[in-house]
Amino acid sequence: MITLKEVANTKELKKFVTFPFSLYKGSKYWVPPIIKDELDSFNKDINPVFKDADARFFLAYKNHSIVGRVAAIINRLEIEQQQIKKMRFGWFDFIDDPNVSKLLLEKVAEIGRENQLEFMEGPVGFSNLDKVGVLVEGFDHIGSMVTWYNHPYYEKHYANFGFVKEKEYMENKFPVSNADPALFTKLNDIVKKRYGLKEMNFTSTKEVMPYVDEMFDLFNETYAKLSSFVPITEIQKAYFKKKYISFINPEYIKFILDKNDKVISFAIVMPSYSKALQKANGTLLPFGIFHLLSAKRNSKDAIFYLIGIHPEYQNKGVTAIIFNEYYKVFTEKGIKMCYRTPELEENIAIKQMWKHFSPEVYKRRRTYRKSL
């Protein structure tokens, strides 16, 4: 018999967070989170997203063992301001038993109907900076700290419950050797001169901090037209600033300023922490922190996390400045491979941005939708 239990305390929340450690035990491709960070992200006293969102966490049990989990999420900004009557769900993991996945999804649907919502979509997080999508291609590639990994059987469970594809995301990779600096070094000088732009590079996190709020404002402006976008609030800016910026090599953060020193473009790249996180196995102590610090200094893989360009400067060659700066850093550090985080298939602009690097689509992921 399968039973469902709502998480009611910290002990049960830890079980929710650690269930995938058993589900993916021995996997070469699953990348575990840091358990404390995951717990903090679900803590209403720590994560400011809960000022505008609600979440309930559920565990499925079979013979007294956990066999599935799901987070049922309501984002009030999305519902009240954007009038999108969506029931979100994420952190959805389960054994290959349709009775388990069905029980979990039925609970999400029940909550959605209770709140007069029109449809459910997942897997998604609280906001656009959270993980998104179930993996449908690329199971033989290692995951990353900013994506979910899952078993191949997940996809059929969505179909069995009557879900249809809502959005498709692609993940691309290319070797740095694909980059021909002749394509952007000359254009870099032309664009800077034509529009009065200048690059800003950093050597310390302290130098970055004064520009972070402006970067998040630009992020909101850049991505506002994409479907499912939920703006980052002021209080979330402070949270993300504290949580993420110090984790990123300052030389991997690039800003482009106009003649009035206003940020008109930004890019954030991270070293790959995947193998370090596998070695850490969910904890920073006693040795996990050393694996992460080693990856920060020595990883030869770089992950393009975010790129934003002010709408007035899109399609004007600003990316040439960004690519020129990263090419110099990557050459100096001996970076071999570049990976891009999930990008909406409908985002034509991002495809155009990278076309000269001959990227290879190596993973695909989707969100699924069902009417309520």
Other CB atoms within 10 Å distance of the CB of residue 198: 13
Per-residue pLDDT band at 334 (split at 50, 70, 90)? very high
Secondary structure (3-state) at 131: coil
Q: Is the pLDDT of residue 231 over 90?
A: no
321 lies in which domain range? 174-365
- The residues, ordered by sequence, that sit 6+ positions from 233 with a Cβ below 8 Å of its Cβ are 48, 51, 52, 77
Q: Is the pLDDT of residue 224 over 80?
A: no
Share of the chain above pLDDT 70, in %: 99
Q: How confident is the model over 120-164, as pLDDT tens digits?
A: 999 999 987 789 999 999 999 999 999 999 999 999 999 999 999
Q: Indicate the residue type of 195.
A: Y
Count the residues in the chain.
372
Per-residue pLDDT band at 228 (split at 50, 70, 90)? low
Q: Is the pLDDT of residue 244 over 70?
A: yes
**pLDDT score for 351:** 80
Q: How confident is the model over 264-274, as pLDDT tens digits?
A: 999 999 999 99
Does residue 77 sit within a domain? yes
CB 187 within 8 A of CB 317: yes
Is residue 44 located within the same domain as residue 150?
yes
Does residue 372 sit within a domain? no
CA–CA distance, 113 with 109 (Å, rounded to integer): 6
Is residue 321 located within the same domain as residue 196?
yes
129 φ/ψ angles, rounded to the nearest 5 degrees: -95, 5
Is residue 72 located within the same domain as residue 130?
yes
337 φ/ψ angles, rounded to the nearest 5 degrees: -125, 145
Is residue 118 located within the same domain as residue 180?
no
281 φ/ψ angles, rounded to the nearest 5 degrees: 55, 45
**pLDDT score for 15:** 98
Does residue 75 sit within a domain? yes
Average pLDDT of the residues of the chain: 92
**pLDDT score for 19:** 98
Which residue from 247, 268, 27, 19 is spatially nearest to 135, judged by alpha carbons? 27
Is residue 132 located within the same domain as residue 250?
no
Share of the chain above pLDDT 90, in %: 74
Alpha-carbon torsion (335, 337, 343, 345), positive or negative: positive
Does residue 371 sit within a domain? no
Q: How confident is the model over 192-219, as pLDDT tens digits?
A: 999 999 999 999 999 998 888 899 889 8
Structural domains of the chain, count: 2
CB 109 within 8 A of CB 142: no
Average pLDDT over residues 47-74: 95
Is residue 156 located within the same domain as residue 238?
no
Between residues 311 and 90, the one the model is more confident about: 90
CA–CA distance, 323 with 183 (Å, rounded to integer): 10
Is residue 38 located within the same domain as residue 183?
no
**pLDDT score for 129:** 75
Does residue 104 sit within a domain? yes
**pLDDT score for 226:** 67
CA–CA distance, 86 with 80 (Å, rounded to integer): 11
CA–CA distance, 290 with 298 (Å, rounded to integer): 12
The residue out of 169, 192, 212 marking a domain boundary is 169
The residue out of 143, 169, 195 marking a domain boundary is 169
Is residue 323 located within the same domain as residue 339?
yes
The residue out of 108, 142, 169 marking a domain boundary is 169
CB 92 within 8 A of CB 69: yes
Which residues are 60's β-sheet partners?
Answer: 4, 68
CA–CA distance, 308 with 265 (Å, rounded to integer): 5
Q: Specify the CATH number for the domain of residue 260.
A: 3.40.630.30
Between residues 213 and 18, the one the model is more confident about: 18
Is residue 154 located within the same domain as residue 196?
no
Per-residue pLDDT band at 350 (split at 50, 70, 90)? confident
Q: Is the pLDDT of residue 74 over 90?
A: yes
Does residue 370 sit within a domain? no
Is residue 143 located within the same domain as residue 197?
no
CA–CA distance, 244 with 340 (Å, rounded to integer): 18
CA–CA distance, 129 with 117 (Å, rounded to integer): 23
Predicted TM-score (pTM) of the model is 0.92
**pLDDT score for 161:** 94
Lowest mean pLDDT among 64-73, 131-140, 238-247, 297-306: 238-247
Is residue 146 located within the same domain as residue 238?
no
Does residue 253 sit within a domain? yes
∠291-134-5 over CA atoms, to 5°?
A: 90
Is residue 134 located within the same domain as residue 180?
no
Per-residue pLDDT band at 236 (split at 50, 70, 90)? confident
Does residue 307 sit within a domain? yes
Q: How confident is the model over 273-300, as pLDDT tens digits?
A: 999 999 999 999 989 999 999 999 999 9
